[in-house]
Structure 1
Amino acid sequence: MKKIFVTGSLGQIGSELIIRLRQLYGVDNVLATDIREDRENAVCTEGHFIPLDVLDKEKMGKLAHEFQADTMIHLASLLSSVAEDHPQDAWRINMDGLMNALEVARKSRMSFFTPSSIGAFGPDTPKEETPQDTLQRPTTMYGITKVAGELLCDYYHAKYALDTRGVRFPGLISYETLPGGGTTDYAVEIFYEAIKYGHYTCPIKAGTYMDMMYMPDAIEAIIQLMEADPEKLIHRNAFNISSMSFDPEDIKQAIQKFLPEFTMDYHIDPKLQQIADSWPDRLDCQTARNEWSFKPAYDLETMTQDMLEKLKRKINTPHPVDK
């Protein structure tokens, strides 16, 4: 990667990815775009930023050509919970936006990355050690768009020799950006509530296991995959990746190691619970390890400690994070 064009740059992933890409490749070699502009966000103020609706293919192509990008990282999408509330919008943004991005990448001969998700699986998928290649019959609009996106990226690679690459992200946990409407958002919200109030009401049932990843590992995974030797990539699109799998009780106990007074109760959200129940409990990530040496740095305990320390400074709470 030398000149990198990113869509959805103000989302949960993009907000941190843009900063990292600028550090690694230079401020002038990263073009951040999003449908909205936030003049208080470093993504918009500390480098190249241009507003872009991914449904505007003409503008997208013009920007890519003028920037002379060799890589596109397409992040713009509606997430799982929001997509269920607005399924028609989710299809337009997640699929029409992806098609526009693929076409721009094809015409400009760019390398291309877009993330899939554990939402691409469904209730009939094996839940334990979910294989890289397995049955995918999701029951959510978000999941349907992610499966279709995986297939579409495979098609562009086979049909046009476009260098497409992608991963199936699990739930992503970040102290930098608030969650944006995903089913795994509770795993971010719980840290904020623990520090602010010492208590959290969880919308997901105890015993509901889902794969998760700390954002620094997710960012490095994108960069590592895009820099990987293409000759070693067999699957290319939608590699299973994960750092950990836990249920709400596990994360509660991890937080209590550092904040012993923290408490949690439950008020189950039926919509979120139904989505979570359709997803795997634990992914098999061996293919990513074999093909591009994927290896996350954080587990539940080290992530929890880092999250609490970083959020304590960010929120500026007077309550100490006990060690």
Structure 2
Amino acid sequence: AVFLTNVCVSCVCAGGLGQLGIGLAQILREQYGSENVILSDIKKPPSHVLNRGPFVYADILDYKHLRELVVNNRITWLVHYSALLSAVGEANVALARKINITGLHNVLDLALENSLRIFVPSTIGAFGPSSPRDPAPDLCVQRPRTIYGVSKVHCELMGEYLHYKYGLDFRCLRYPGVISVNTPPGGGTTDYAVQIFHDALSTGHHECYLRKETRLPMMHISDCHRATVEFMQAPQCQLSLRTYNIAAMSFTPEEVAQEIRKHLPHLKVTYNPDSVRQTIADSWPVRFDDSNARRDWGWEPAFGLQELVSDMLQSIRNKRATDGLSIS
């Protein structure tokens, strides 16, 4: 979680050591002060995270402890990132149900009890094979076939219900696949689009677990963070929805490989589709319709495929050089 505290805003981020929490906390700390943004997780944080601002241990399933954190730190915003992603969730449905649904209810109850504003991300996985795929609009049939997707649809509907019944300031964005150099893949179906960059610069070979023509919506992590902050800061009067799609680009494994080859012509990609992840990907949209986000609160991405590839390759080169690793 990310928790924002009570000077002008106070925030706690649950699941804060995952792909998104650390970067979002850094942006919020630059705007609101380091002491007003608290990261939380059940994992031991690396030293560079501890040095940047407050961190607390918090188990999303321990409601009493979460309530103590909120009360003692005068929290006003709660950002809830704790979740098991699509492929990992399918491997442990019982645990995914606990974390993704019971954990959600804990933070929703906390938000209601303490008049918090709450942001929870949703996902491309909230759509299913009967949803419109090209593009998928904000409002349509959603019949996902993963526990991750089911839990996120549940989240969207519960948040909207609590907003209209009790006035809860619940906000939710459906993220596409998020591509970042700073954290390793975390068990999502779109994670190949992170791994391929590391493989291109380390071994020159990537084995992809999806078919080469599998098109999915993707986004650079900096666009994802910026969309989240802009959405959190948007006045309520501008919002016609509580859950919005956000989009930036849509590509296939072969298309991103071809773009990488403009920089690294030696890259070899082989395809060995994994039945679980391929089935999941085939049930998801190939593009998002984010026209409501663009109209209501001015969303506009900065990164297309060319910019994404150039930035990722340069960032991974720099990181490998800093770590003393070779570059293929």
Question: TM-score range with shorter-chain normalisation?
Answer: over 0.9
2:128 aligned residue: 122
Cα shift readout 1:134-157 (whole Å, capped 9, x = no counterpart): 000011111100100100111110
Q: Is the 8 A contact 2:238 2:297 kept in 1?
A: yes
Q: Is the 8 A contact 2:133 2:285 kept in 1?
A: yes
Once the two structures are superposed, the pairs formed by residues 170-181 of structure 1 within 5 Å of their partners are 170-181=176-187
2:285 aligned residue: 280
Q: Is the 8 A contact 1:37 1:44 kept in 2?
A: no
Q: CA deviation at 1:201?
A: 0.7
2 CA distance for matches of 1:177 and 1:296?
Answer: 21
Runs (4+) of structure 1 exceeding 6 A deviation are: none
Matched, 1:31 2:53: no
2 CA distance for matches of 1:44 and 1:301?
Answer: 34
Partner amino acid for 2:308?
M
Unaligned 5+ runs, structure 1: none
1:9 aligned residue: 16
Partner amino acid for 1:18?
A
1 CA distance for matches of 2:231 and 2:75?
Answer: 18
Unaligned 5+ runs, structure 2: 1-7
Q: Is the 8 A contact 2:320 2:327 kept in 1?
A: no
Q: Is the 8 A contact 2:80 2:118 kept in 1?
A: yes
Give the aligned CA root-mean-square deviation in angstroms: 1.1
Q: Is the 8 A contact 1:132 1:240 kept in 2?
A: yes
1 CA distance for matches of 2:51 and 2:43?
Answer: 13
2:81 aligned residue: 75
The percent identity for this pair of structures is 40
1:290 aligned residue: 295
> How many residues matched?
318
Q: Is the 8 A contact 1:168 1:241 kept in 2?
A: yes
Matched, 1:52 2:71: no
SS at 1:184 equivalent: coil
2 CA distance for matches of 1:131 and 1:61?
Answer: 36
Cα shift readout 1:279-298 (whole Å, capped 9, x = no counterpart): 00011110110111111110
Q: Is the 8 A contact 1:119 1:143 kept in 2?
A: yes
SS at 1:72 equivalent: strand
1:65 aligned residue: 71
SS at 1:12 equivalent: coil
SS at 2:142 equivalent: coil
1 CA distance for matches of 2:65 and 2:161?
Answer: 24
SS at 2:78 equivalent: strand
1 CA distance for matches of 2:78 and 2:259?
Answer: 37
1:251 aligned residue: 256
1:19 aligned residue: 26
1 CA distance for matches of 2:326 and 2:93?
Answer: 42
2:314 aligned residue: 309
Partner amino acid for 1:217?
D
TM-score by structure 1 length? Answer: 0.96
2 CA distance for matches of 1:202 and 1:39?
Answer: 30
SS at 1:183 equivalent: coil
Partner amino acid for 1:186?
Y
Q: CA deviation at 1:88?
A: 1.0
2:200 aligned residue: 194
Matched, 1:161 2:196: no
Q: CA deviation at 1:15?
A: 2.0
Q: CA deviation at 1:234?
A: 1.1
Cα shift readout 1:46-103 (whole Å, capped 9, x = no counterpart): 2110011000111111101111111110110100010000111111100111110011
Partner amino acid for 1:285?
D
1 CA distance for matches of 2:170 and 2:151?
Answer: 17
TM-score by structure 2 length? Answer: 0.95
2 CA distance for matches of 1:97 and 1:43?
Answer: 24
Partner amino acid for 2:116?
M
Q: Is the 8 A contact 1:9 1:33 kept in 2?
A: yes
1 CA distance for matches of 2:46 and 2:217?
Answer: 34
Match of 1:240 among 245, 268, 275: 245
1:264 aligned residue: 269
1 CA distance for matches of 2:145 and 2:327?
Answer: 43
2:119 aligned residue: 113
